[in-house]
Structure formats: structure tokens, C-alpha cells
Amino acid sequence: MPNPGTVRHPRAGCQVVADDSSALVRLAGTVEPDDVDRVRDALLTRLVDRPGPIVVDLAGLRAGGATAGQLLAGVRRAVRDWPAADLLVVDPSGMVADGDATGLAVYPSEAEAMAALARTPMAAVLTEELTPTVGAARWARELVTDGCARWGVPELAEPACIAVTELVNNVVAHVSTPMTLRLAAQGDTVHLAVRDRSRRQPRYVGPAPLTSAGGRGLLLIDTVARRWGSTLLPDGKVIWCVLHTEDESHWHHD
């Protein structure tokens, strides 16, 4: 019986095998260009389903290292601003490009990668499942306020509440699916993300005219957050933003 953590396709050259008891994900076989989207989706889903970095082991790859390296570098760029998300790479054969070129943390053995993971300070993380109801944004604000106080960045509570209100209300108003709110502290920053079950992407067209009704949600996020964006998943998307304490005084003054 196939491992439930394995992604298979009858014509696929690469298998993605996830260890549900750890952060380890193994790629096996050959990474062909036709595999890239499927493998990327599997890794993004793994990263959104559990907080914290993952270790991707390439020891089982027979070929396609260059393609795998580009794929993994793209995944890392996509998730680097998600709350508590990153990836480390095990590459005993030296198949991928130099880590300095790809931005990847590459290790020659699984043991060394797992040891590096253990040395990485785990970000303080809060995760909550929310239903698309009127009270969802209020509960999200309570969680954000509590997290900012707990992590010693109370000055970010107000802008973070503005951002999370817009993220949650966007789901309630426009897609009406269950959602996952995740937030994490990292130094003097707070990372927020809301994952929903719709692939409908948000549209940001700049400041809304003063005479318009609504349409300012993404503008508010763009105002209080240093960075924000949206990442498509096979069954939905993640909309994320990053807030910095050093920006808060400027935002509050403005």
C-alpha cells in the first residue's frame, strides 16, 4: 500500500515522500521538467500544513539535479516571508548548484542537515483554524494582540490587527472557505499568513478613489506591512505579510 505521504503519478519521474513524524521530505527518481509544478505544489503544501522548516533529501535522485536545484530555490523564495517556513537541502552527490548561487542551505548528509535544523531557533508560532463567519476577524485580532504581547512586540499589535482583519475579511466576503491563520515572531518582525481554499487571487490596483465604496483592504495591508504577497497552492492560496517594529513609528505618525 503506498505511503500516504507519497505523491505519485503514472508518468512522473520523481516521487515526493514525506515523513509525517518529522520535518524530512525525500525526492526520489528523476526530476523532469514536467515534474516541476507537481513537486513544487507538494513541497508548498507540506510547508503550509506544518509550521517550521523542512529538510529535503535528494539522496534518492538519479538525475535532474540542476532542475531540482532551481525548483527548490524557487520554493524557498516563495515561502521565505511565510510565518516560520524555510527549507534545508541534503545533497550528498553535489547535484544542485552551489548554495551561495541558489540561496539554499545545502548539506552533504541527512544527519548534518537535521543537526543544523536542530540548531535553528524555532520561531514562536501561533496557528488557528477559522470559519468564514462574521466573528472570525475579531477572534483573529485577539490572537494577534496576544501574540504580539507575548513576543515582546506590542507596538506591532495595532498594524498587525489591521492587516489580519483585512486578510480574514477578504476570505469571509469573497471566497467563504475555511481558513488557517498563522503568525510567527522572528526578531523584531511579525509574519502573518492566512491560507484559504480558493485559488482566486486578490487584486491590488493601487490607492482606491475617494469616491469608491470599499476596495481599500489590500491598500491598508500595503500601508502597514513592509512586504506582502499571495502564493497559489493546489487547493487554494496563502496571503502573507511582514511587519517590522522599525516601521511602526513611521506608520503611526503618517
Q: Which three cell numbers stand for residue 17?
A: 515522500
Q: Which three cell numbers stand for residue 114?
A: 537535521
Domain spanning 6-119, CATH class: alpha beta
Distance CA 108, CA 198 (A): 39
Q: What is the pLDDT along the chain (254 residues), one digit of tens a residue?
A: 444 455 444 445 899 999 888 999 999 999 999 999 999 999 999 999 999 999 999 999 998 888 899 999 999 999 999 999 999 999 999 988 776 667 899 999 999 999 999 998 878 899 999 999 989 999 999 999 999 999 999 999 999 999 999 999 999 999 999 999 999 999 899 999 999 999 998 876 555 443 333 345 688 899 999 999 999 999 999 999 999 998 876 655 45
3-state secondary structure 150-203: HCCCHHHHHHHHHHHHHHHHHHHHHHCCCEEEEEEEECCEEEEEEEECCCCCCC
Give the start-to-end residue ranges of the domains of the chain.
6-119, 124-253
Topology at the third CATH level for domain 124-253: Heat Shock Protein 90 (3.30.565)
**pTM to 2 decimals?**
0.87
Phi-psi region of 143 (alpha: psi -120 to 50; beta: other; left: phi over 0): alpha
